[in-house]
Amino acid sequence: MILTNLQALATLLDDPDYNWKTIIIGFATAQFAFENYLTVRQLGVLTKDQPPQTLRADISQETFEKSQAYSRAKAKFSIFNSVYSYIQNYLFITYNAMPVMWFFSGELLRALSPVLPASFSGEISQSVVFFTVFSIFGSVVSLPLSYFQNFVLEEKYGFNKLTVGLWLSDAVKGLALSFVLGSPLLAGFLKIIQYFGDRFIFYVWVFIFVVQVVMIAIYPTVIQPMFNKLTPLAPGALKDSIEKLALKNKFPLSKLYVIDGSKRSSHSNAYFYGMPWSKQIVIFDTLIETSTVSETTAVLAHEIGHWALSHTTQMLVIAQLHLLFMLTLFSIFIHNQSLYVSFGFLSQTPILIGFLLFNDILQPLDCVISFLMNVLSRKNEYEADAYAVKLDYATDLARALIKLQIENLSSMEADWLYSAYHYSHPLLSERLKAIGYVAKEKVKKEE
């Protein structure tokens, strides 16, 4: 019944009268206008000259003004970035750059055929070449914005630690990693669809899930060391405190690392990853430098709260359901001739191209899903904070959050609609209120 309904819907949408190019440009324009409208609203909030009442005892006027200036600069940059991306996307669609790039990939594949294995031919091989060309093109056109963000905006406010050499090295490594890992995965994805035909949904879903599990397993030993150095946390008070916390909460801690985040930025963070039976905690060196042992432990108590309350499992299940839903919708468009024709593919219907175009169609739905996921994420953040509070880390967590706010110059206020759409974490003032933190008035220094 479901398959019959999907086939009927696919037939309905495969109508020559549908101009999918106009529809997708319309979706992109609506999203562009709405998101910039939200940013303009946020800019209004960022002109305030006094911190929220709940933060005035802990945030100096100088820090607040610097935070507001930094947030305004990021907001203005986001508008410029969105205009740049919109124009690029509009031109790319209007002038049929995708079929040109697909044709070029085919010609490049034929030119290289004398030095390539005989089996490296056909749609899958051309898709791998297209994927590589498309990735290089995307990286090149984004370089000016990336340079400005790191070496102008972040540099101005003291966050950038990158050198031009390291920045370029990261870009090259990212492209190389994308090719080395992405090419065989793309080939596997396309091969499954070719082999199973319209029954591909379940098999692709399982394939992607297995890939995700493998990536979790190899990330700390294969991928992460390409960009950052992970060093075992040295014995001492902090290590003892974290191990005691993990033992008390039956957290399956296997390794404790310090990452050289200061190599690229002075922003602070901490996170954990790994399989259900073996977790690794990673702490940014910048967090250790700016926080006490109890404050750093409080941050990790919050992170362990996510694990103890099954937030990580919850998000994994939701991600898999979303993936299954997306693949089901893709099955409706995979043979849609009108979609391919609208974008200049008159005789060929490459699966990869169909998937890319389908993702453009899916943008409005993705925005709604992203909004709902942010709502859920904020709920989970409150619950993880509450978990840390139950472990008697209320004051330490509050102080750690305040320090992180100051060190990262994070926005201290936000327009309610902007916050609802963009933020996955509550504002600091909201989190402190939920924790029950009451700031002590600053005492006068002894004369």
- Is 425 annotated to bind a ligand? Reply is no
Do residues 2 and 67 make contact, with C-beta atoms less than 8 angstroms apart? no
* Tens digit of each residue's pLDDT (9 = 90 or more) over 369-392: 999 999 999 999 999 999 999 999
Residue 440: band (very low, low, confident or very high) from pLDDT cuts 50, 70, 90: low
pLDDT at position 441 is: 52
The two tokens of residue 169 are 């090295």
153 inside domain: yes
pLDDT at position 447 is: 34
Rounded Cα distance, 402 and 395, in Å: 11
Query: Does 114 have pLDDT greater than 90?
Result: no
* Tens digit of each residue's pLDDT (9 = 90 or more) over 180-233: 999 999 999 999 999 999 889 999 999 999 998 888 888 877 888 888 888 888
Rounded Cα distance, 25 and 342, in Å: 12
Query: Does 15 have pLDDT greater than 80?
Result: no
Residue type, 220: P
Query: Does 400 have pLDDT greater than 50?
Result: yes
pLDDT at position 213 is: 87
Query: Does 443 have pLDDT greater than 70?
Result: no
Q: Which of 385, 407, 413, 430 is catalytic?
A: 385
The two tokens of residue 426 are 């509550």
pLDDT at position 353 is: 94
Our count of domains for the chain comes to 1
pLDDT at position 375 is: 94
Mean pLDDT within 236-259: 91
441 inside domain: no
Mean pLDDT within 237-249: 93
Of residues 103 and 270, the one with the higher pLDDT is 103
Query: Does 103 have pLDDT greater than 90?
Result: yes
pLDDT at position 1 is: 55
Q: DSSP assignment, residue 126?
A: H
Residue 276: band (very low, low, confident or very high) from pLDDT cuts 50, 70, 90: confident
360 is catalytic: no
- Is 335 annotated to bind a ligand? Reply is no
Mean pLDDT within 239-254: 92
Of residues 72 and 122, the one with the higher pLDDT is 72
Q: Taking the alpha carbons of 258, 174, 322, 369 in that order, is the dihedral positive or negative?
A: positive
Query: Does 11 have pLDDT greater than 80?
Result: no
Residue 288: which domain range? 2-435
* Tens digit of each residue's pLDDT (9 = 90 or more) over 292-347: 999 999 999 999 999 999 998 999 999 999 999 999 999 988 888 999 999 989 88
Strands (E), 239-340: 253-259, 270-275, 278-284
Q: Which of 286, 289, 257 is nearest to 272 (CA)?
A: 257
444 inside domain: no
446 inside domain: no
Listed in sequence order, the residues at least 6 apart from 44 whose beta carbon sits closer than 8 Å to its beta carbon are: 415
pLDDT at position 264 is: 75
Rounded Cα distance, 350 and 347, in Å: 10
Query: Between β-strands 278-284 and 253-259, what pairing exists: parallel, antiparallel or unpaired?
Result: parallel
Do residues 165 and 158 make contact, with C-beta atoms less than 8 angstroms apart? no
Do residues 96 and 439 make contact, with C-beta atoms less than 8 angstroms apart? no
Put residue 96 in one of left, alpha, beta given phi > 0 → left and psi -120 to 50 → alpha: left
440 inside domain: no
pLDDT at position 216 is: 82
199 inside domain: yes
Listed in sequence order, the residues at least 6 apart from 245 whose beta carbon sits closer than 8 Å to its beta carbon are: 251, 297, 300, 301, 304, 391
292 inside domain: yes
pTM, 2 dp: 0.87
Query: Does 446 have pLDDT greater than 50?
Result: no
Q: Which of 295, 303, 407, 415 is catalytic?
A: 303
Do residues 179 and 132 make contact, with C-beta atoms less than 8 angstroms apart? yes
N- to C-terminal Cα separation, the chain:
82
Rounded Cα distance, 297 and 287, in Å: 11
Rounded Cα distance, 105 and 132, in Å: 9
| Unique residue bearing structure tokens 């940014």 | 284
Quote the percentage of the chain above a pLDDT of 70: 95
Rounded alpha-carbon distances, angstroms, from residue 146 to 72, 142, 149, 171, 182: 18, 6, 5, 10, 22
Rounded Cα distance, 424 and 427, in Å: 10
Of residues 18 and 180, the one with the higher pLDDT is 180
**Average predicted confidence (pLDDT) for the chain:** 89
385 is catalytic: yes
pLDDT at position 445 is: 37
- Is 306 annotated to bind a ligand? Reply is yes
286 inside domain: yes
